[in-house]
Structures are given as C-alpha cells and as structure tokens.
Structure 1
Amino acid sequence: MRLAELSKRSGVSAATIKYYLREGLLAPGRQINATTAEYDEDHLRRLRLVRALIQVGRVPVATAREVLKHIDDDSLGRTIRLGAALWALPQAPEPDDDDEEVRAAHREVEQVMERLGWSNAQALSTISPAHRSLVVAVATLRRLGYAWDAELMLPYAQLMHQAAVRDLDFVETQPSEAEKVETAVAAAILFEPVLRALHRLAQEEESARRYGFE
C-alpha cells in the first residue's frame, strides 16, 4: 500500500507517519522509485502500536524507540524480550528503603509471592518495575493509615494471576514472536484502562446488589 492508504487505514496523518519514519519508530517502506515507497501489513501493525504508545500512553518518542528496540531484538528469549520492552515504559520512582513503611511493604509483598509460589517473580524482584510500583503503592497506603497487608493482597493477587493467564493465552494466538511481544506491550497500554473500568463497574453492580439505590 502507498502512504496515503497507510494513513487512511491507520487513522494517522501522512505527516505524522513521515515523522515516525524520520524518528526510526517505523521501518522504511520498500522503495518503488525515487519518491514513492510501498508499505505492508507489518507497517500497519507497528503503526498502531506506535500510536498506542505515544498518543494513548503519552510515552515520549525516545522511550517508544527504546521499547520498540527491545520488541525487535530477536536475540532475546520471549520472557526477557517482553520484560525489557515493558520495563522501558515509564515506571514508578525507586522506593526509599530507609523508610519504615517501605520496608514493611517489602515484607508484605514478599509474603504474598511466597504464599502464591511466585518464585520467578521473587527472582526478578530486585529489578522489576512492577514489584517496585507495588511496594510504593502499599507503602503509601500504610503511611495514610490503611493497614494493607499480605492477607488483604492475597485474593487480589490470585485474581490478577487469572487475568495474566488470560493475557498470555491471548498473546499466544499471535503468529510471530515480534507480534506476541507487540501485543503484550499494547495490552499494557490499552487493556489496563479496560480492567480498571470493569473493576469500577463491578463495584457499582455489587454495591447496588447489597445496598440498593437508596
């Protein structure tokens, strides 16, 4: 397809596509002549991911480029490739390990992982941004007087594990390694708002069931 068709099918303006090409976020098309290139379905798929990262996720161009670099690095195994791509996304700040509540949060999170048998997550805990984000969130809750501990977290973690199984089952339906990782990254940007909205809708439904509308 030519640039105009790529623009029409993706919903991204031709000028923006040219910008993504200049910034290395999109591979060059196959050159037909000095002024015309042809693009394919891989370009369309990648363009949708770039759009999700930049327009929806508000990820800076340099960060998007880093994420895409990891997605395209076929020298890595799938777990490391996916982890590297997701970890390149903007993350929570490092927790202050001198803070008493941070230390307590670390202990509670560790208990959850031990009780669930998440040995792989434990092995990655020192470098995982998700682990860091959870510790920061739990420490903040505790600092504000909410006694959030392993016992309270455990059923939520079990539900999230079920969600993760469904996530990766969906990822497995993609035909290539790059598409599998792309799908997982897109899910991190696009599906998490869906999960938050479903959670709130479920709360509204359960509240109405328990307490009615009065």
Structure 2
Amino acid sequence: MRMSDLSRSSGVSVTTIKYYLREGLLLPGRQLSATQAEYDENHLRRLRLIRALTGVRGLSVSATRQVLGALEEHSGDIHRLLGLSLGSIRLTGEQADDGPRGTAEQDEVDALIDELGWNVHKAAPARAALAETLTSLRNLGAPLDRRALVPYARLAERTAVLDIDQLDGIEDSLEVVERALLLTVLLEPALLALRRLAQENESARRHADG
C-alpha cells in the first residue's frame, strides 16, 4: 500500500507518518521510485502500536523508541513484552523511582505480595505506587494494612485472568502488545465506573427506602 493508503487504514495523518519515519519509530517502506514507497501490514501493525504507546500509554517519542527497540529485542518473550509495554518492567537505564522504599508501607506491600504468592519483580513500579497510596491513607487518618487489601487483591487477580485470557490465540507479538495496552489503559476508566455503579447499588440495597 502507498502512504496515503497506510494513512487511511490507520487513521494517522500522512504528516504524522512522515514524522514517525524521520524519528525512526516506523521502518521505511520498500522504495518504488525516488518519491514513492510501498508499505505492508507490518507497517500498519507497528503504526497502531506506536499510536497505542504514545496516545494510550502517553509515552514520549523518545520513550516509545526505547520501548519499540526493547520489544524487538525480546520479541519471543510474551511475559517480558507485556511488562515492557505496560510499564511493569523498567527499560534498561531507566531511572528507578524508589518512592517510599524502606517504609512501613513498602514492607506491607512486600508482605502482601508474598502472602498472595504473586510472582512480581522487586523493582515493579506498582509496588511503589501501592506503598504511596498506603502512605497517603495513613497521613489522612485512614490507615489500611495488608489484611484489608487481600480481598481487593483477589478481585484484581481475577481481573488479570480475564485480561490475559483475551490475549490468548493472538500469534503476532505486536498485536498482543497493542491489545494489552488497549485493554489495560482504556478499560481502567470503565472498571472504575463499574465500581462506582456497584457502590451505589449496594448503598441502595442497604440504606435506601423503597
């Protein structure tokens, strides 16, 4: 397909496609002449992945280039591909945000993960994010320990099974990563909305008259 066809199929403007080519995010097409190149389905899949990384996950062009390079390096390792694209695994050389490491809250998070029997890397950013949330709750006078988090963690575990189930049967690694990004990032507001709706329903069941 020509660039105009690639633009129409992907929904990305020709100007943006040319920018991605200049920045090395998108590989050049097969040259037909000095001014014309041909692109294929691989370009379309990669372009969709670039959009997911920049638009959905919100990565900069530089960070997207790093992620794409890492994805190519580990193309046969689905677990690592998902970790790199979703941000649960840091890129080589990426600065770690230690957050509240060494605090009681971080110890609680580590103990919770051990109690659940989860296989989660010690440097996973979500560990620090959860510890920061526990710190905020403590500072606001609403402390929460790991025992209170266990039922929520089990719900999250079941959600993760549903997430990963939807990736089964997809053989193309780029499509796996793109689908995982969309399911994880774009579905999160829907999950939050469902929680709010369920809370209203439960409140009505317990407290509403009539």
Q: Same fold (TM over 0.5)?
A: yes
User: Which residue number corresponds to residue 185 of structure 2?
Assistant: 189
For 1:49, what is the secondary structure of its paired residue? helix
Cα distance in 2 for partners of 1:210, 1:29 equals 62
User: Which residue number corresponds to residue 145 of structure 2?
Assistant: 149
User: Which residue number corresponds to residue 38 of structure 1?
Assistant: 38
Are the structure 2 counterparts of residues 35 and 131 from structure 1 closer, same or farther at C-alpha, using a change threshold of 3 Å? Answer: same
CA contact (8 A) 1:3 1:37 kept: yes
User: Which residue number corresponds to residue 167 of structure 2?
Assistant: 171
Letter in 1 for 2:110: E
CA contact (8 A) 2:6 2:44 kept: yes
Letter in 1 for 2:28: P
For 1:72, what is the secondary structure of its paired residue? helix
CA contact (8 A) 1:26 1:43 kept: yes
Are the structure 2 counterparts of residues 97 and 129 from structure 1 closer, same or farther at C-alpha, using a change threshold of 3 Å? Answer: closer
Q: Quote how far apart the aligned CAs of 1:62 are.
A: 0.7
| Alignment TM-score, normalising by the size of structure 2 | 0.84
For 2:166, what is the secondary structure of its paired residue? helix
Q: How much is the aligned-residue C-alpha RMSD, in angstroms?
A: 2.7
Cα distance in 2 for partners of 1:62, 1:172 equals 30
| Alignment TM-score, normalising by the size of structure 1 | 0.82
Choose from 95, 101, 105 the match for 2:99: 95
Letter in 1 for 2:151: P
The CA deviation string for residues 58-87 of structure 1, in whole angstroms up to 9 with x for no partner, is 321111111222222236633233323323
Q: Quote how far apart the aligned CAs of 1:88 are.
A: 4.7
Aligned counterparts, 1:195-214, within 5 A? 195-212=191-208
The CA deviation string for residues 78-117 of structure 1, in whole angstroms up to 9 with x for no partner, is 323332332359999421346xxxx221232123222221
Cα distance in 2 for partners of 1:92, 1:166 equals 30
Segments of 5+ residues of structure 2 without an aligned counterpart are none
Cα distance in 1 for partners of 2:45, 2:197 equals 31
Cα distance in 2 for partners of 1:156, 1:96 equals 22
Q: Quote how far apart the aligned CAs of 1:158 are.
A: 0.4
Cα distance in 1 for partners of 2:70, 2:178 equals 10
Deviates more, 1:156-165 or 1:191-200: 191-200
State, as a whole percentage, how many aligned pairs show the same letter.
46
